[in-house]
Every structure is written in structure tokens, then in C-alpha cells.
Amino acid sequence: MRRRPAPAPSTPATCTSRPVRVQDFIDHYRLMSADSDFRFSEEFEELKHVGREQPCTAADLPCNRPKNRFTNILPYDHSRYKLQPVDDEEGSDYINANYVPGHNSPREFIVTQGPLHCTRDDFWRMCWESGSRAIVMLTRCVEKGREKCDRYWPYDTRPVYYGDIAVTALNESRYPDWTITELMVCRGAEQRVLKHFHFTTWPDFGVPDPPTTLARFVRAFRERCPADARPVVVHCSAGVGRSGTFITLDRALQQLAAHAEYLDIFGMVYSMRRERVWMVQTEQQYICIHQCLVAVLEGQDLQPPP
């Protein structure tokens, strides 16, 4: 009987994808990181302009400009999350947020900026109207004396109203690098439990120390995230660097768990940047994703040092 030809050494790289066979991934990492990460720098540079030609007209409306935390981080029109409009109020459907694909669905995540004080009611409307049951927060509210995100959830068990949405903290579990809080969210007669996963030790524009802390957080999130297919709200301060890094690693770890033959980190970041600007903002964040995957493939325990 004719033997099937051996599979090609790797699927062809294109301008939108660069798949690597899982069994070759550790060697791939060593090659890319050689000579002071020379090939990682080259590859990350290829992503620089992806998606940037797409319009952001809603974000640029005068009534919406104050709703953007940063002038250079605006949601593309085609993938932006739209709030249910309020009467004929111009801009009432606007929030700085985009749908981003994940391993499980093309709209698995809603990625957004850290709420401003003036947009936190909109943020809770988005969480409610999208049916989300989980929020992943990847920044502290204040870092190096600068506000990065409003404190948009209650400090204790007394309910706080954000517009017509009441939020109550039910319980809180604190760990060295993250805190998980169960929130009761009520609107009218309906109430829901939503989990808040807060990574508390990730410096802006940087990577966790050690990088594998991120892999442990992604694992903790997946172990506790409600299994239903509702979108997960993910944010940092601008909702691009740390948020994109988290989502990329989550997708890759789920692919490994599903025994995928290839990992295409370049292709994942490419597809995310078509939906939201600058997803995975720095080269070090791009490399951190690979370092976490190497640690998992090497069978490192990932447990924190004693």
C-alpha cells in the first residue's frame, strides 16, 4: 500500500501568517532570539502598519472625543462595540472598544480602554448589554502616580450605582499577582454574577516579572472563567498592549491544549490588529508570549518561586 507522503516541513509563511510547527517551536524561539532578538525585531516590525488604513470616524466625532482616554488609541468603525443608543442622543452608542477574535469565536473578546470617570457608566452598560460574565483587568488604577484606569467597581459589599446598574462585591480572593472578585450586577429586576480577574503586577509598556507569571494568570483565568460563549471584556489602560498580549497567549495556550500541530503567533497578532490598533504594543510583549509558550512546551511547572 502506498505510504502517505511525509507532511510538508511547515505550512508556507505568507504576509499575514507565519505558522510554526509545535515540535519546532523551541528551536524557532532560539533562532528568533539569537543576536539580541534580531529576527523577533524584524518580524514585529512587519506588523507595524497592519489595520492602520481603517477609519475611526465615530471616535473622531466632537461629542465622542472626550470619551477617549488617549488621542492615538481610537477604535476602528468596522469592529467597534456599539451601545444601545439612548433616544436620539448623538454619540450615545459610542465606547472606545472593539470586538476581537479568540480561540473559541470571532467575537470572543471585547477589548476596551480603562474606563474614564466619565465613561464608567457606559462601560457597565457595555458589560450588561453584551451579556458578559467576565472582566479581565491588566493594569492598576494608578501607576507611578498617574491614573491609568478609573476605580469602576465597588471597594466593599455596599452596592454602587453606575447609571441604572447596581454593582456589589460578593467576595474577593487575593493572590500575589492577581485578585479575583465576584460581582453581583443588577439592572431592573435582573441580576447576574460577573467575575473580575485583576492582574495587579504588570507594568505599563513592559512585561510581567517573570514573564511566566502571565501564563499562570491565563491558566487561572481559564480555570475559573464561566464556560458560556458570552464575550469576555478585557482592558488595560489603553486596551492595546497588555490586552493584546493576554489574548494572544490565551489563544495559543488553548491551541496547545487542543493538540494543534502549528502555532501562528504572527498571524494571531496580525488578525487582532485588523480589529484594534496596536494589539501587542511592544516587541518585548511579543517576545514574552513566545517565552511563556516555550516554558509550557518545556514542561516547566510555572509555579512561582518559593
All residues at 6 or more sequence positions from 62 whose CB lies less than 8 Å from its CB, including other chains: none
Selected binder of ligand UA1 within 140, 196, 242, 276 (CB under 6 A): 242
Nearer to ligand UA1, 102 or 114 (CB): 114
- Least Å from the CB of residue 96 to ligand UA1: 11
Residues 6+ apart with CB under 8 A from 40: 32, 33, 283, 286, 287, 290
H, E, C per residue of 258-298 = CCCCEECHHHHHHHHHCCCCCCCCCHHHHHHHHHHHHHHHC
**Can residue 133 be called a binding residue for ligand UA1 (CB under 6 A)?**
no
Residues 258-287 that bind ligand UA1 (CB under 6 A): 281
Q: Which is nearer to ligand UA1, 103 or 148 (CB)?
A: 148
- Of 66-74, 181-189, 218-226, 251-259, the segment contacting ligand UA1 by CB under 6 A is 66-74
For residue 89, give Cα distances in angstroms to 92, 161, 297. Answer: 6, 22, 52
Residue 248 binding ligand UA1, by CB under 6 A:
no
How many residues form the binding site for ligand UA1 (CB under 6 A)?
Answer: 15
Q: Under a CB-based contact definition with an 8 Å cutoff, are residues 198 and 179 in contact?
A: yes
Q: Does 139 bind ligand UA1 (CB under 6 A)?
A: yes
Contact region for ligand UA1 (CB under 6 A) — 70-78, 123-131, 172-180, 264-272?
70-78
Q: How far is the CB of 41 from ligand UA1 (least distance, A)?
A: 18
- 171 interacts with ligand UA1 by CB under 6 A: no
What is the closest distance, in whole angstroms, from the C-beta atom of residue 42 to ligand UA1 in the complex? 21
Residue 135 sits in the site that holds ligand UA1 (CB under 6 A): no
Show which residues are catalytic. 236
| Contact (CB, 8 A) for 19 and 42 | no
Grid coordinates representing 10 are: 511547515
One residue of 7, 9, 71, 87 binding ligand UA1 per CB under 6 A: 71
109 by DSSP, 3-state: which? strand
Q: Are 277 and 245 in contact (CB under 8 A)?
A: no
Task: State which amino acid sits at residue 183.
Answer: L
Rounded least distance, CB 299 to ligand UA1, Å: 30
Residue 50 grid cell: 497592519
Please give the residue ranges that form the binding site for ligand UA1 (CB under 6 A). 70-73, 139, 204-205, 236-242, 281
